[in-house]
Every structure is written in structure tokens, then in C-alpha cells.
């Protein structure tokens, strides 16, 4: 499997990054990749996990802001 460059991870939606991360983990768990492929997959997985975390942090910030705005109106 050719691993796409990590630079394109920033363009992924949360769902796309999560789904690809699941595939990367499954491939690593199979243990059939060469060492070089495994390293590339690991690096890709780290980038995908970071992207998912960014999305989740952003979502939490938006929820906190919405809650703050709602409580300020009452």
C-alpha cells in the first residue's frame, strides 16, 4: 500500500480522517507490511490522530462558546 503524504491530512474532514485511521490501524495490526511500510503507516496514523484531535478540540470550543452565549442570554 502506498501511503499518501501527511501534508494532505489537514484537508480531511473528521469522519474521513477517523475512517482512514481505522484502516491504517487494521493494516498495522495485520503485520504483513514491511518495516518501511509500517513506519510510513505509523507516521500517517499519527498525523490522522492529530487531525481528529484538532477537530474534536474545535468542536468542544464551539460547544463551550454556544453554551456561554446561551447562558448569557437568560
CA gyration radius, the chain: 17
More confident residue, 66 or 72: 66
**Helix-strand-coil split of the chain, %, nearest 5:** 85, 0, 15
Residue 65 has pLDDT above 70, yes or no: yes
Q: How confident is the model at residue 72 (pLDDT cuts 50, 70, 90)?
A: confident
- Per-residue pLDDT tens for 28-58? 999 999 999 999 999 999 999 999 999 999 9
Please state the pTM of the whole predicted model.
0.82
Cα 17 to Cα 26: distance, rounded to the nearest angstrom: 14
- Per-residue pLDDT tens for 6-22? 669 999 999 999 999 99
More confident residue, 1 or 29: 29
Amino acid at each position: 500500500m502506498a501511503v499518501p503524504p501527511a501534508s494532505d491530512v489537514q484537508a480531511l474532514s473528521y469522519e474521513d480522517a477517523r475512517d482512514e485511521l481505522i484502516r491504517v490501524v487494521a493494516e498495522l495490526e495485520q503485520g504483513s507490511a514491511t518495516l518501511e511500510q509500517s513506519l510510513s503507516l505509523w507516521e500517517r496514523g499519527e498525523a490522522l490522530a492529530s487531525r481528529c484531535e484538532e477537530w474534536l478540540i474545535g468542536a468542544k470550543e464551539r460547544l463551550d462558546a454556544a453554551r456561554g452565549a446561551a447562558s448569557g442570554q437568560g
